[in-house]
Amino acid sequence: MLKIAVAGVGRIGKMHAEIIARQTANAQLVAVADINEDAAKSIAGQLQVEHATVDQLFSASNIDAIAICTSTDTHVELIEKAAKAGKAIFCEKPLSLDVEKVDQSLRAVDAANVPFMVGFNRRFDPGHKSVRDAVQSKAIGEVHLARITSRDPAPPPIEYIKVSGGIFMDMTIHDFDMARYVVGSPVVEVFAMGAVLVDPRIGEAGDIDTAVVTLKHLNGAMTVIDNSRQAVYGYDQRVEVFGSAGMAISDNPRSHNGSVFSETKVQDQNLPYFFLERYTASYINEWAAFVEYVLNGGPSPVSGLDGKAPVILGLAAKESVRTGNPVKVDGV
Amino acid sequence: MLKIAVAGVGRIGKMHAEIIARQTANAQLVAVADINEDAAKSIAGQLQVEHATVDQLFSASNIDAIAICTSTDTHVELIEKAAKAGKAIFCEKPLSLDVEKVDQSLRAVDAANVPFMVGFNRRFDPGHKSVRDAVQSKAIGEVHLARITSRDPAPPPIEYIKVSGGIFMDMTIHDFDMARYVVGSPVVEVFAMGAVLVDPRIGEAGDIDTAVVTLKHLNGAMTVIDNSRQAVYGYDQRVEVFGSAGMAISDNPRSHNGSVFSETKVQDQNLPYFFLERYTASYINEWAAFVEYVLNGGPSPVSGLDGKAPVILGLAAKESVRTGNPVKVDGV
Amino acid sequence: MLKIAVAGVGRIGKMHAEIIARQTANAQLVAVADINEDAAKSIAGQLQVEHATVDQLFSASNIDAIAICTSTDTHVELIEKAAKAGKAIFCEKPLSLDVEKVDQSLRAVDAANVPFMVGFNRRFDPGHKSVRDAVQSKAIGEVHLARITSRDPAPPPIEYIKVSGGIFMDMTIHDFDMARYVVGSPVVEVFAMGAVLVDPRIGEAGDIDTAVVTLKHLNGAMTVIDNSRQAVYGYDQRVEVFGSAGMAISDNPRSHNGSVFSETKVQDQNLPYFFLERYTASYINEWAAFVEYVLNGGPSPVSGLDGKAPVILGLAAKESVRTGNPVKVDGV
Amino acid sequence: MLKIAVAGVGRIGKMHAEIIARQTANAQLVAVADINEDAAKSIAGQLQVEHATVDQLFSASNIDAIAICTSTDTHVELIEKAAKAGKAIFCEKPLSLDVEKVDQSLRAVDAANVPFMVGFNRRFDPGHKSVRDAVQSKAIGEVHLARITSRDPAPPPIEYIKVSGGIFMDMTIHDFDMARYVVGSPVVEVFAMGAVLVDPRIGEAGDIDTAVVTLKHLNGAMTVIDNSRQAVYGYDQRVEVFGSAGMAISDNPRSHNGSVFSETKVQDQNLPYFFLERYTASYINEWAAFVEYVLNGGPSPVSGLDGKAPVILGLAAKESVRTGNPVKVDGV
């Protein structure tokens, strides 16, 4: 039984805490912590566990693993502290907006030799995973092309956008990880085009809201990613890999499977609204994978390198938009 | 090269003539005939073949096969004449509304030993045929249940309904054939419920416009057929067989594969409007099968018995609605 | 905040207890009871509520409502006790295998004037409900036909079948309710055909495993239900209503939306395996509806009559199979 | 009645001739011509029209319009001759591999003031057209992103590739046109990545077989095109436009709608094999549009500029692959 504490119980941390407490075999939620003590108290009450300060988690002897779900700018420091304390570490994405700092935290993890996994939950979505499985089993042969669509239902508040690191660090980071995961070959070149088409205030905040990113992989395969901050029809999440022997697609689920046929049209259901609804299964599977990994060993399901590579790609995409030209990267 | 003449070039006969002339390998349309001489002339002109009276077809030495597409009440007589003339025979469904007469015509065919095929085109629809193939290959194991939906987009004129033999002889006759074709076991019992829900004038004409028919097969399997004279969303044609090892479905095609996703819904395309659009491939395949059968021999793709059984089932269904009870039939 | 106790925490009762405890707003699970005290203790421990004997629930003053999830033969007695104790009542289906006893229990409910709801969860499935909504809003006009497919992935143990009341009481009972729910008109006639095609031991136990039931409704509409105890491809649950202005369908969800296209085929995902996976949303919505109904009043979402009618239809179907003829019922 | 002659009756010209002869209202095929006289004779015989040399077509007084379906390198000369002869002109894509020559031919068309239409048939595909309609009606708001997938089932012979002008001129040219058609805003920048992944002999012939092209439009929208010379699962043709108010998709049709559900999977049908099967409707609609345009006037459905712009984009894509950088174009 793995004893886990959650540091940071905002929207995503709270969800992780609930899944650990209720839907994860061989795991026990023992404490939650948050800079906002009331939030920690309230969630601890609901889940009937203890609440603490973040620092108290590191010294608690009944805690085996810590889920770091605080704001991005605190990740590196907390990873280092947790590593030093000998705890197994789960950290939300992105590890940092700064590659140097990512390296610094990964060195701490290596030094402490503790289990470490990054929270790229989409790898654990059954549909997306089936695409990866089709690649790995060679069911679709050698990979030639990948297409990833990732569009949020609505933009976050402008204040969030200002501290988010920009669309490539906040949204596309998942897609960079997905490209590496499903194609299975390092990325060597990034070309990104961006535009402000959803809301001019996003442009005023120094970001873009619509993007197309093309990746070249070491094996010659190419990935295309498209992003938008606002898909009015719901949370649009599709992954497709095309290869020499076929194609694997992970298409959007619908809210339900009811349809109405009438004289002029057939009306189907829309997409689920956002990630808590869309990716429920992925979060549950992610925790199962983490617990299995910590208890039984083996390679990390989402390693430190898997956490670092998308940060490098995000910075390269940013650079590509700035210069208008493709940017080479060092095979990540 | 099989030389074929078409007798009766109303809507369906004209279509057959065009397919024979333009889309059937190893076949040549040589003549068309119709009680309406102008119609025959006009179509003969378009297809650049000769026109004739129906009787002239039987004596023409350059005609190998005759497609009988005249009104139902003339089928038996024309089959007999064609058989006597030694022509290969294709006859539209139903052979007759009268089982005695069907027998009489089949005796003539047997006596003349000429090739004979009934025009149950839906057997040649690629989707429906894939259901039958899944049954025959045992891909879905032993058959337990079949479901057939067959709904026309709009009712025919009341005048047509009066001479049609009723919904079971005119519409369901195709579904009786489909049930025999996909289940592959004779029918031993028929229970039919009917109602007048589409148009009261259909009831005044002595017919029903909505029906549910349940068949029991000799092997214990059961088939459910549902019919309506009016599906406002288009021509609804579905076949499903459920068995011990799986299920095979032939679902409706859509007019095209365009969809529009908006904030409140997803809008897809409707079904094709009617049989000329929906079943084009089946008619082309039907003629290929006829030509192959006549030129190369083998069992008839749709034999005389296949033509007779649905007439028996149609009469049984009529009787079932009249009495309100199931009707046993003699394994057809 | 509605305080609810669950009586009977077998597979279905345990699931209800968890949903009440964790996923139902304005509700609190306060106790669980079971004839198997260990089971009650264990689940009480997991959910951190009290455990009790069933009888203790009736006298507990901190319990507002009781969910009766015990075996069918105890339902009537527990309904009566709960009614006498003034508790709001949720009772699993079927109320009883005996119409007299159903009446007896409903009289007790009426006398006590307590809220009462039957657990026909499928009414609360978003897809099936969308079919009902399309009927009620007249989006598909007047109802002409309904088709309900309900096939379990695998048969229950023979021992269960012997006490289940037979397929019509155990499986089809849900479909009888669905027919009444989506068509919205009482049933006046039942015709059922059955067969033993899945497992001969089911026949030896006096039951059938494959059935087709046709219902005639008071408004002339017809419903066809088909059932099998074993669909190897998963839990097949479909509802379709066809009307004068269109059609509404609730189709099967898939396990996920991954597909693999290869040279010879496209391979999609199967159906979810069974009701706990397939109908999760329906159970959550069912409890929301119960709590809303008890707290705010209004008509029962699934009334006593809604609980009784399917029992009458189940008995009529049994009689129809026995006699081979349709059975008239008194507009239920 | 528009009298049309077809110059060049290879695979595509033969198909056009048949459609004009048999499936185009208000049109009459009067002659076919080909450099291969036997081919012309044979097709003329089948369609019962005259055969001629190409040059004879220009002087024939009974010919109103000429369909130029000869090899690409002859297009410009034939356009000029046809224009001088006062014939209405339909010309297959691409107009030329050389922009100067395209201009030269368009000047001749302008000088003669004859109707002129380029054969970008995919604009007339009902699914793709529904995407364009959704854009034009503002059903999906302002366009932000477009995705076009265009993959052939198998590469052409290496000999053909050598004279094809390369993948961008031969395959992507259709997608450049589609991007302009569905997005409705000129292209200002082109970035292309290419690779030889299908067959090394294609690389030896100086071409690529796999490509990703990103376009920036004047209105800020971005289009992504992906191409492959070999999709083993069939002819993959998809168009998607995403906008501020929704998304429109034109998905692949399947060969038919049969599916088989078994214990481990659901198996669906593959895509149609190639363009003659996939785009039949588009060709028929294309000829209807041409005839309507010539007989009734109005703007060309696919104008000279529509023929020239994709050539410019193809050259820019080639240049982008050569330099590794994006290429600006002058708003085409």
The 10s digit of each residue's pLDDT in D131-181 is 999 999 999 999 999 999 999 999 999 999 999 999 999 999 999 999 999
Mean of the pLDDT values across residues A308-323?
Answer: 98
Which residues of chain D lie closer than 8 angstroms to B253, CB-CB? 253, 256-257
> D83: phi > 0 → left, psi -120 to 50 → alpha, else beta; which?
alpha
Q: Is the dihedral of CA D71, D77, D78, D80 positive or negative?
A: positive
Q: How many contacts, defined by CB atoms under 8 Å, are there between A and C?
A: 99
CB pair distance less than 8 Å for C197 and B224? no
* Contact call for residues A277 and A240 (beta carbons, < 8 A): no
Report yes or no on D211 lying in a domain. Answer: yes
- Candidates D9, D287, D308; CA nearest to D121 is D287
Q: How close, in Å, is residue B155 to chain C by CA atoms?
A: 12
Nearest CB among A245, A253, A260 relative to C257 is that of: A253
> Choosing among A226, A268, A328, which should be mutated to test the D contact, i.e. which has the most D CBs within 10 A?
A226
Quote the mean pLDDT of chain B: 97
pLDDT in tens, B137-168: 999 999 999 999 999 999 999 999 999 999 99
pLDDT in tens, C146-172: 999 999 999 999 999 999 999 999 999
CB pair distance less than 8 Å for A145 and D216? no
**pLDDT at position A295 over 90:** yes
| DSSP β-bridge partners for residue A46 | none
Report yes or no on A121 lying in a domain. Answer: no
Query: How many other CB atoms are there within 10 angstroms of residue D56's CB atom?
Result: 14
**pLDDT at position C253 over 90:** yes
CB pair distance less than 8 Å for D212 and A214? yes
For residues C205 and C316, membership in a common domain is answered with yes
Tokens encoding D154: 């198998």
For residues D175 and D309, membership in a common domain is answered with yes
Tokens encoding D314: 């193809």
Which residues of chain C lie closer than 8 angstroms to B216, CB-CB? 193
Nearest CB among B250, B257, B281 relative to D258 is that of: B250
Name the residue of chain D whose CA is nearest to B244's CA. D262
- C49: domain CATH number? 3.40.50.720
Report yes or no on B119 lying in a domain. Answer: no
Q: How close, in Å, is residue B33 to chain D by CA atoms?
A: 21
**pLDDT at position D273 over 90:** no
Least confident of B58-67, B263-272, C227-236, D36-45: B263-272
pLDDT in tens, A148-189: 999 999 999 999 999 999 999 999 999 999 999 999 999 999
CB pair distance less than 8 Å for D212 and A145? yes
**pLDDT at position B273 over 90:** no
* Contact call for residues C4 and C17 (beta carbons, < 8 A): no
Report yes or no on A120 lying in a domain. Answer: no
The A residues from 144 to 173 touching D (CB cutoff 8 Å) are 144-145, 147, 149, 151
Distances (CA, A) of A17 to A4, A49, A53, A88, D179: 9, 10, 15, 16, 46
**What is the model's pTM?**
0.95
**Does A84 reach chain C within 8 Å, measured CB to CB?**
no
ipTM of the complex: 0.95
- Confidence band for A220, pLDDT divided at 50, 70 and 90: very high
For residues B23 and B158, membership in a common domain is answered with no
Instruction: Spell B264-291 as b/e; 16+ CB within 10 A means b.
Output: ebbbbbbbbeebeebbbbbbbbbbbbbb
- Candidates D78, D225, C289, C238; CA nearest to A224 is D225
**Does C259 reach chain A within 8 Å, measured CB to CB?**
yes
Which residues of chain C lie closer than 8 angstroms to D267, CB-CB? 265-268
The B residues from 229 to 258 touching A (CB cutoff 8 Å) are 232-233, 254
For helices B126-136 and B172-183, angle between their N-to-C axes, nearest 10 degrees: 30
Residue at which a domain ends, from C114, C147, C171? C114
Tokens encoding D309: 């712009």
CB pair distance less than 8 Å for C254 and D261? no
- Confidence band for D274, pLDDT divided at 50, 70 and 90: confident
**Does B111 reach chain D within 8 Å, measured CB to CB?**
no
> How many angstroms separate the CA atoms of D30 and B233, rounded?
40
Q: How close, in Å, is residue D199 to chain A by CA atoms?
A: 10
> How many angstroms separate the CA atoms of B124 and B284, rounded?
8
Count of domains forming chain A: 2
Mean of the pLDDT values across residues B75-102?
Answer: 97
Query: How many other CB atoms are there within 10 angstroms of residue C122's CB atom?
Result: 25
| DSSP β-bridge partners for residue C82 | none
For residues C130 and C109, membership in a common domain is answered with no
Helix (H, G, I), strand (E, B) or coil at A138: coil
| pLDDT at residue B67 in the model | 98
> How many angstroms separate the CA atoms of B31 and B44, rounded?
7
In chain B, the percentage of residues whose pLDDT exceeds 70 is: 100
Q: How close, in Å, is residue B324 to chain D by CA atoms?
A: 35
Helix (H, G, I), strand (E, B) or coil at C316: helix
Distance of CA A315 to the CA centre of its chain: 16
In the DSSP assignment, the letter for residue A164 is T
Distances (CA, A) of B21 to C79, C230, C305, D24: 75, 49, 64, 17
Amino acid at C115: P
Amino acid at A109: V
Residue-range definition of the domain harbouring residue B13: 2-114
- Residue length, chain C? 332
* Contact call for residues A123 and A247 (beta carbons, < 8 A): no
Report yes or no on D120 lying in a domain. Answer: no
For residues C175 and C293, membership in a common domain is answered with yes
The D residues from 288 to 317 touching A (CB cutoff 8 Å) are none
Nearest CB among A263, A264, A270 relative to B265 is that of: A270
Provide the strand spans (E) within C64-174: 65-68, 88-91, 116-118, 143-151
> How many angstroms separate the CA atoms of B239 and B150, rounded?
9
Q: Is D64 exposed, middle or buried (0-12, 13-18, 19+ CB in 10 A)?
A: buried
Nearest CB among C232, C261, C266 relative to D262 is that of: C232
| pLDDT at residue D156 in the model | 96
Residue at which a domain ends, from D82, D114, D146? D114
For residues A139 and A106, membership in a common domain is answered with no
Which residues of chain A lie closer than 8 angstroms to D226, CB-CB? 145, 147, 222, 224, 242
In the DSSP assignment, the letter for residue B17 is H
For residues B169 and B50, membership in a common domain is answered with no
For residues D67 and D99, membership in a common domain is answered with yes
Per 3-state DSSP, what percentage of chain B is helix, strand, and coil (rounded to 5)? 40, 25, 35
Provide the CB-side half-sphere exposure for C157 (13 A, CA): 3
Nearest CB among A245, A258, A262 relative to C249 is that of: A258
- Candidates A233, A124, A221; CA nearest to A180 is A221
For residues A185 and A281, membership in a common domain is answered with yes
**pLDDT at position B275 over 90:** no
HEC letters along chain D: CEEEEEECCCHHHHHHHHHHHHHCCCEEEEEEECCCHHHHHHHHHHHCCEEECHHHHHHCCCCCEEEECCCHHHHHHHHHHHHHCCCEEEECCCCCCCHHHHHHHHHHHHHHCCCEEECCHHHHCHHHHHHHHHHHCCCCCCEEEEEEEEECCCCCCHHHHHHCCCHHHHCHHHHHHHHHHHHCCCEEEEEEEEECCCCHHHHHCCCCCEEEEEEEECCCCEEEEEEECCCCCCCEEEEEEEECCEEEEECCCCCCCEEEEECCCEEECCCCCCHHHHCHHHHHHHHHHHHHHHHHCCCCCCCHHHHHHHHHHHHHHHHHHHHCCCEECCCC
**Does A139 reach chain D within 8 Å, measured CB to CB?**
no
| pLDDT at residue D166 in the model | 97
Distances (CA, A) of D55 to D35, D58, D85: 10, 6, 11
Residues 6+ apart with CB under 8 A from D268: C259, C265, C266, C267, C268, D254, D258, D259
Residue D122 sits at φ, ψ, to 5 deg, of -65, -20
Q: How close, in Å, is residue D10 to chain A by CA atoms?
A: 30
Q: How close, in Å, is residue C256 to chain D by CA atoms?
A: 12
For helices B126-136 and B280-296, angle between their N-to-C axes, nearest 10 degrees: 60
Helix (H, G, I), strand (E, B) or coil at B64: coil
For residues B163 and B302, membership in a common domain is answered with yes
For residues C75 and C136, membership in a common domain is answered with no
- Largest Cα–Cα distance in chain D? 68
> Choosing among D129, D260, D273, which should be mutated to test the B contact, i.e. which has the most B CBs within 10 A?
D260
* Contact call for residues C222 and C216 (beta carbons, < 8 A): yes
Report yes or no on C119 lying in a domain. Answer: no
For helices A99-112 and A75-84, angle between their N-to-C axes, nearest 10 degrees: 10
Which residues of chain A lie closer than 8 angstroms to C253, CB-CB? 253, 256-257
Helix (H) or strand (E) run with residue B68 in it = strand B65-68
| pLDDT at residue A274 in the model | 86
pLDDT in tens, D168-189: 999 999 999 999 999 999 999 9
Tokens encoding D59: 């002087």
Residue at which a domain ends, from D63, D84, D114? D114
Residue A157 sits at φ, ψ, to 5 deg, of -60, 150
- Confidence band for B274, pLDDT divided at 50, 70 and 90: confident
- Confidence band for B1, pLDDT divided at 50, 70 and 90: very high
Quote the mean pLDDT of chain A: 97
| pLDDT at residue C183 in the model | 98
Q: A143-151 and A236-243 as β-strands: parallel, antiparallel, unpaired? A: antiparallel
**pLDDT at position D276 over 90:** no
Helix (H, G, I), strand (E, B) or coil at C286: helix
CB pair distance less than 8 Å for A193 and D214? yes
Tokens encoding C250: 């609730």
> How many angstroms separate the CA atoms of D94 and D120, rounded?
9
Nearest CB among A263, A265, A271 relative to B267 is that of: A265
> How many angstroms separate the CA atoms of A228 and A149, rounded?
9
Report yes or no on C120 lying in a domain. Answer: no
* Contact call for residues A149 and A226 (beta carbons, < 8 A): yes
In the DSSP assignment, the letter for residue B161 is H
Binding partners of D (≥3 Cβ pairs within 8 A): A, B, C
**Does C193 reach chain B within 8 Å, measured CB to CB?**
yes
> How many angstroms separate the CA atoms of B122 and D37, rounded?
42
> Choosing among A261, A267, A270, which should be mutated to test the B contact, i.e. which has the most B CBs within 10 A?
A261
**pLDDT at position B29 over 90:** yes
- Candidates C174, C180, C183, C185; CA nearest to C248 is C183
Which residues of chain B lie closer than 8 angstroms to A232, CB-CB? 262-263
> How many angstroms separate the CA atoms of A100 and A302, rounded?
19
* Contact call for residues A165 and A101 (beta carbons, < 8 A): no
**Is the peptide bond preceding residue D94 cis, with omega within 30 degrees of 0?**
yes
For residues A140 and A24, membership in a common domain is answered with no
Name the residue of chain A whose CA is nearest to C47's CA. A22
| pLDDT at residue A98 in the model | 96
Nearest CB among C248, C253, C255 relative to A260 is that of: C248
Report yes or no on B121 lying in a domain. Answer: no
Distances (CA, A) of C70 to A171, C92, C159, C312, D16: 49, 8, 17, 21, 72
| pLDDT at residue C177 in the model | 98
| pLDDT at residue D296 in the model | 97
* Contact call for residues C147 and C223 (beta carbons, < 8 A): yes
